[in-house]
Amino acid sequence: MDRKEVIDLLSKKLNGDLKISYDHLAVLTNYSKRQLIRLSKSLNEKGIDSTLKHGNKGLAAHNRASNDEIDFIVNFKKLYPNITIAQFRDIYLEDIIFNPSRKEDVSKYNLKPRSTSFFQRLYKEYKWTSPVKHRSHKRDSPLHLLREKSPRAGMLVQIDGTPFDWFGNGQRFTLHMVVDDATNDILAGWFTKNECMYGYCKMMELLIKKKGIPLAIYSDKHTIFKSPEGNITSFGVMMDKLGIEMIFANTSQAKGLIERYNGTAQRRLPNDIIRFKIKDYDQLNIWFNDFYIKYLNEKFAHLPIDPVYEFVELTENYDLNLVFTVSNTRKIVEGNMFSYNGYYYVPYDKNGEVVKIRTSTEVTILYFVLENKVRMKYIGIIYDCTLIGTKHKNKQVLINDHKDLNNLIQEMDKKTKGSH
């Protein structure tokens, strides 16, 4: 399609012989909508001959999109039904245009690097929806003043948990994530079914092994970080062991950076899970930390104001398992057992023999969070423990009528028979 053909199309549109939108014409010709409207005005005022002579200013006929190129992009978009314009363009450029293995497709369909505005026109023409709606800022709307960022990497890191259906299968998992306040670098992340201490401990372990110990942590007032009574939590004790100061935000707005990154993760990660063929959360946890963090940081992170590095490196042979440990006291009950979190445990020595301790003796119970193991400390010695049963609580049942009572008796009868 040359310039004359474009002007001919516009002429037919103006005469009512062709029903086509300016947005559709912009996609087909790679002229901007504004240029096409200007050409239409020239056609109305000066006619075809004059417009043909003088109407080529600012046009880029050599760069117009072919039907083959448009069809290719439309088919490619089907892989990502819920994706922002920015991410779709990123994926298209990375996986198609600049991917050596797609060289034949690029040549065959005459594919070219396209601008954001090109994809915006496509979204509008094909009525694709973006999960992000950009709001226009009114002149009289209140401005939210931004605080100054930390000048040096490692001075302050922000942490938070964001639950989301990352695989689109109806199951929500929580991403525990830590971001450097000075650089916007994502430092580590860990997915678990619920927001929990283990998720944050695993996240911190990855951060410390990779970067070192930060000076301070900025978080919300979740009970993992701050108890309602104001007492230090188990996680707070762990951070205190590492010399990390904990700072709390009063509102989600006060968290700012980490909240924005939660949104970025929720918008981008599900599409990249499809793109990189991630199958489950075990694979996701490894891939997220080994590859995806670096990929996102190359797009969104920046250098700090001050190049001085505040992360403190671990000394050699430093055992983080001893840091990420919860300590409690319990009393030994009959059978050399103790109860912990609703379960009974028995301690044993390195020879596999049960450690015999007098009933009612007070012992220290250590829960090693990273290993998910319970151990007992007694007279300076730490013993491994075996889980031997659940500490059952009798539940209360409300009976409304004889039918409820009969059903309950039948259930009890089945359980009793099954235990014999």
pLDDT of residue 68 exceeding 70: yes
Q: What is the mean pLDDT of residues 33-48?
A: 79
Place of tokens 């007492």: 231
Q: What is the pLDDT of residues 79-106, one digit of tens each?
A: 999 999 999 999 999 999 999 999 999 9
Is pLDDT above 70 for 416?
Answer: no
Rounded CA-CA distance 114/118 in Å is 6
At residue 331's C-alpha, the angle toward residues 358 and 326, to 5°, is 130
Give the integer Cα–Cα distance in Å for 250 and 259: 13
Distance of CA 160 to the CA centre of its chain: 11
pLDDT value at residue 400 = 59
Residue 12 scores a pLDDT above 80: no
The amino acid sitting at 90 is D
Determine which of 64-73, 239-248, 395-404 has the lowest per-residue pLDDT on average: 395-404
Note the pLDDT of residue 397: 54
pLDDT tens per residue across span 175-220: 999 999 999 999 999 999 999 999 999 999 999 999 999 999 999 8
The pLDDT of residue 136: 44
- Residue type at 265 in one-letter notation: A
**pLDDT(137) > 90:** no
pLDDT of residue 29: 72
Q: What is the mean pLDDT of residues 18-39?
A: 77
B/e letters for 2-15, b = 16+ CB within 10 Å, e = fewer, are ebeebbebbbebee
Q: Taking 80 as the threshold, does the pLDDT of residue 116 lie above it?
A: yes
For position 149, what pLDDT does the model report?
83
Fold of 156-300: Nucleotidyltransferase; domain 5 (3.30.420)
C-alpha of 339 from chain center: 37
How large is the average pLDDT for residues 301-324?
92
The upper half-sphere exposure of residue 327, i.e. CA atoms within 13 Å in the direction of its Cβ, equals: 13
Q: Is the pLDDT at 332 greater than 50, yes or no? A: yes
What is residue 6's predicted lDDT score, i.e. its pLDDT? 78
Higher per-residue confidence, 252 vs 383? 383
Q: Is 318 left (phi over 0), alpha (psi -120 to 50) or beta?
A: beta
Q: Give the contacts of 301 (CB within 8 A, at least 6 positions apart).
A: 183, 184, 185, 186
Query: Average pLDDT, stretch 9-17?
Result: 76
Question: CA-CA distances (angstroms) from residue 59 to 35, 118, 250?
Answer: 8, 14, 54
Pairing of strands 381-390, 338-340: unpaired
Q: How confident is the model at residue 2 (pLDDT cuts 50, 70, 90)?
A: low
Give the mean model confidence (pLDDT) for residues 163-181.
96
Calculate what percentage of the chain has a pLDDT beyond 70: 84
Q: What is the mean pLDDT of residues 264-289?
A: 97
The three-state DSSP-derived secondary structure of the chain is CCHHHHHHHHHHHHHCCCCCCHHHHHHHHCCCHHHHHHHHHHHHHHHHHHHHHHCCCCCCHHHCCCHHHHHHHHHHHCCCCCCCHHHHHHHHHHHHHCCHHHHHHHHHCCCCCCCHHHHHHHHHHCCCCCCCCCCCCCCCCCCCCCCCCCCCCCCEEEEEEEEECCCCCCCCEEEEEEEECCCCCEEEEEEECCCCHHHHHHHHHHHHHHCCECCEEEECCCCCCCCCCCCCCHHHHHHHHHCCEEEECCCHHHHCHHHHHHHHHHHHHHHHHHHCCCCCHHHHHHHHHHHHHHHHHHHHCCCCCCCCCCCECCCCCCCHHHHCEEEEEEECECCCEEEECCEEEEEECCCCCECCCCCCCEEEEEEECCCCEEEEEECCEEEEEEEEEECCCCCCCCCCCHHHHHHHHHHHHHHHHHHC
Res 420: pLDDT: 47
- Give per-residue pLDDT as tens, 49-62: 666 665 555 444 45
Q: What is the pLDDT of residue 145?
A: 45
Q: Give tens-digit pLDDT for 356-365.
A: 999 999 999 9
Name the pairing type of β-strands 338-340 and 325-331.
unpaired
Q: Are 332 and 360 in contact (CB under 8 A)?
A: yes
Q: Can you tell me the distance from the alpha carbon of 413 to that of 420, in angstroms, rounded to the nearest whole number?
A: 11
Name the segment(s) of the chain with CATH classification 3.30.420.10. 156-300
The pLDDT mean for the chain works out to 86
